[in-house]
Amino acid sequence: MSHEAQKAIARQSLLLRSLPDQHVETLLSHAIWRQYDRGETIFLQEEKAQAVHVVLEGWVKLFRMTPTGAEAVVSVFTRGDSFGEALALRNVPYPVSAEAVSACDVMHIPSPILISLMKEDPEIGISILAATFTHLHSLVAQLEQLKAQTGAQRVAEFLLNLCDDETGGCDVSLPYDKMLIAGRLGMKPESLSRAFSRLKAVGVKVNRNHAEISDIALLREYAESDPAENWSR
């Protein structure tokens, strides 16, 4: 991908898209561009934050390791997503680790650049706050899912988010591997397999990384139904 095309993607990110052009150019001109291989670490939990990150291509996961070695996936980001905004302004350690889950292009905006620009124009603080709030909101939504839905329902919602909001049927490609989907939804890969089997009953067929949804409305109804009511298999 050309450098210009990458810049265009960066400009659409939540962090940059509402900033005046002049500031965006300053930030882009100081940014560091890097490629990562699948499985490569971008940063580790407890490291001090030194940059804001913008994914230009590929997929990146944020996760936490528990003392026993289990990993909890916190979010998965792709083209046009930015993360680490809130930390860049304060010299604090990352609460999560970041890893490329596919080959990736990632842009890094060094924190000092952002901080000095923010002193000139507080408007940048608002952009950072907006991005941070979006992340907060998505964590709240995730918590709600985990606390109030069964595994199969979370999978249903995951699939619905991949569709456009239409009604009727829909074909989607699973964006990353099933192990990661399972982690993202807080279950084991075996449970994910079983959840997919169960969704056959509401018109979902999965083959490899391809899913076929026969009726979006039906799937949505299933995702939002009361778990206790689905006693009938």
Partner DNA sequence: CCCACAACATGACAATTGTCAAGTTGAGAA
Partner DNA sequence: TTCTCAACTTGACAATTGTCATGTTGTGGG
Q: Is 140 left (phi over 0), alpha (psi -120 to 50) or beta?
A: alpha
Nearer to DNA, 84 or 151 (CB): 151
**Does residue 74 belong to the site contacting its own copies (CB under 8 A)?**
yes
Q: Say if strands 82-83 and 210-213 run parallel, antiparallel, or are unpaired.
A: unpaired
Cβ-proximal residues to 14 (8 Å cutoff; 6+ apart), any chain: 81, 82, 127, 130, 131, 134
Cα 67 to Cα 70, 72, 135: the distances in Å are: 8, 11, 25
Within 22-61, the residues that bind its own copies by CB under 8 A are none
Dist CA 30 CA 212 (whole Å):
44
CB of 143 to its own copies, least distance (A): 6
**Does residue 189 belong to the site contacting DNA (CB under 7 A)?**
yes
Nearer to DNA, 30 or 178 (CB): 178
Instruction: For residue 211, give the 3-state DSSP assignment.
Output: strand
Residue 137 has phi, psi (to 5 degrees) of -60, -40
**Does residue 8 belong to the site contacting its own copies (CB under 8 A)?**
no
Nearer to its own copies, 103 or 110 (CB): 110
* Range in contact with its own copies (rule: CB under 8 A) among 5-13, 102-110, 115-123, 162-170: 115-123
Residue among 64, 61, 52, 62 at smallest CA distance from 13: 52
Contact string (CB under 8 A) for its own copies, positions 171-210, x = contact: ------------x--x------------------------
**Does residue 126 belong to the site contacting its own copies (CB under 8 A)?**
yes
Contact string (CB under 7 A) for DNA, positions 199-228, x = contact: -------x-xx-----------------xx
Residue spans of alpha helices (H) in the chain: 3-11, 21-30, 85-88, 111-120, 123-148, 151-162, 178-184, 189-199, 216-224
Of its own copies, DNA, none, which one sits near residue 45, judging by CB under 5 to 8 A according to partner kind?
none
Within 127-146, the residues that bind its own copies by CB under 8 A are 128-130, 132-133, 135-137, 139-144, 146
Q: Is 62 left (phi over 0), alpha (psi -120 to 50) or beta?
A: beta
**Does residue 190 belong to the site contacting DNA (CB under 7 A)?**
yes
Task: Please give the residue ranges that form the binding site for DNA (CB under 7 A).
Answer: 150-152, 177-179, 186-197, 206, 208-209, 227-228, 230-231
